[in-house]
Chains A and B, each alone.
Chain A
Amino acid sequence: MNTKPNILLVDDDELYLYLMEKTIHQLSKELVVSTFTDGEQAVEYIAECTKQNLDLPEVIFLDINMPFLDGWGFLNEFKKLKPKIINNINIYMVSSSMRNSDIKRASNFEELTGYVVKPVNKVQLAEIFKKIYQQNW
């Protein structure tokens, strides 16, 4: 495993970010986690990576409700960037919302791999990682 950040957390809740990072590290110390507190920063980062041909994260945990650019906004921007992206990026919508409208809206984005309801516990994370890192896990 290289040291490039392979997990991206995008959420305005800093406590959540702290806890997620902690949980992920409990699962594997090898995973590199980066965080952004809003969608705008995350989009800028991905755009920068694409531009400079840097490696992109394999998993993004995306919150819906964020200032400046929310989860939906991020997805829209991501769509525009996608043709330039070679790697497969797994994006998980993570929200405390259990609203049907949100879930339905999420299903319309083919960029999304899944929809996870907060709180995300260790078991759920393990399953997600198992799917993604099958060979390496």
Chain B
Amino acid sequence: MLPSYLTMAAILFCIGLYGALVKRNAIIVLLSIELMLNAVNLNLVAFSKYGVVPSLTGQVFALFTITVAAAEAAVGVAVLIALFRARGTVNMDEFDEMRR
């Protein structure tokens, strides 16, 4: 069972990575990041159930990750709204403040 979970998680992670690196729309980038986080959660749960040493710790850890991800998404969306108010766009190509 473990390999199919891991494969599923890897595919999910790659889709998320692709979206985070390539997409223009900042909201989709945020969604892609959530996708990658969920891929990681899937791995954690899969290992805690079918790993060499099964334990509940992995599932608890996944719960924590979901909580942190929710907080992160809230902060991310808040930053995005602030950016949209300031620049009037959510296009990633126009956000190059880090250059200065």
Q: Do A and B bind each other?
A: no
Binding site for B on A (CB under 8 A): none
